[in-house]
Amino acid sequence: MKDFLWDWRYAIIAVIALIIFAIFEWGKVKEVILKGCLMAKKLAKDAVLNSGQEQEDWVVTKVFALLPLPARLVISEDLFRKIIRWLYGKAKDYLDDGLINGSITGGTQ
């Protein structure tokens, strides 16, 4: 085990540094995601995007490319799609009654 860690020390340090950098970039990532979701809603209002699935697909394809590189290395596109779906669910829940309380799904989350 000691030999493995020593042989791979630079790769391990690089991965740890990448993860730490991505954590600190999370604020920027959230801002980019929020702006993308708002733009998708605007496009839906302007009848460019017709369904919720089209909005989700647009956000995933367009916003994923705008994420900082460290975030894209840590977050896969499939995971990003799940994050977007979760955020849209939270937004719907909040818009329902002004609280994030699971009222859309029928229970607390």
What pLDDT band is residue 106 in, cutting at 50, 70 and 90?
Answer: low
**3-class secondary structure, 6:** helix
What is the signed CA dihedral for 16, 22, 27, 29, rounded to 10 degrees? Answer: -160
Q: Which domain holds residue 77?
A: 2-97
Beta-strand ranges (E) seen in 1-109 are: none
Identify whether 11 is part of a domain.
yes
Vertex 28 angle, CA 22 and 34, to 5°? 125
**33: pLDDT strictly greater than 70:** yes
47 is a domain residue: yes
H or E element in which residue 39 lies: helix 26-45
The predicted model scores a pTM of: 0.61
Q: At 14, phi and psi to the nearest 5?
A: -65, -45
CA dist 35 and 81 (Å) reads 16
The domain total for the chain is 1
Question: Is residue 109's pLDDT more than 50?
Answer: no
Question: How far apart (Å, rounded) are the C-alpha atoms in residues 6 and 78?
Answer: 33
Domain contains 61: yes
103 is a domain residue: no
Q: In this predicted model, what pLDDT tens digit does every residue of 34-79 receive, in sequence order?
A: 888 888 888 888 887 788 788 888 888 988 888 878 778 878 889 8
**pLDDT reading at 108 higher than 50:** no
82 vs 60: CA distance, rounded Å: 10
User: Would you state the pLDDT for residue 105?
Assistant: 64
Q: Which two tokens stand for residue 31?
A: 């801002």
Highest mean pLDDT among 6-10, 67-71, 72-76, 89-93: 6-10
Q: Is residue 72 part of a domain?
A: yes
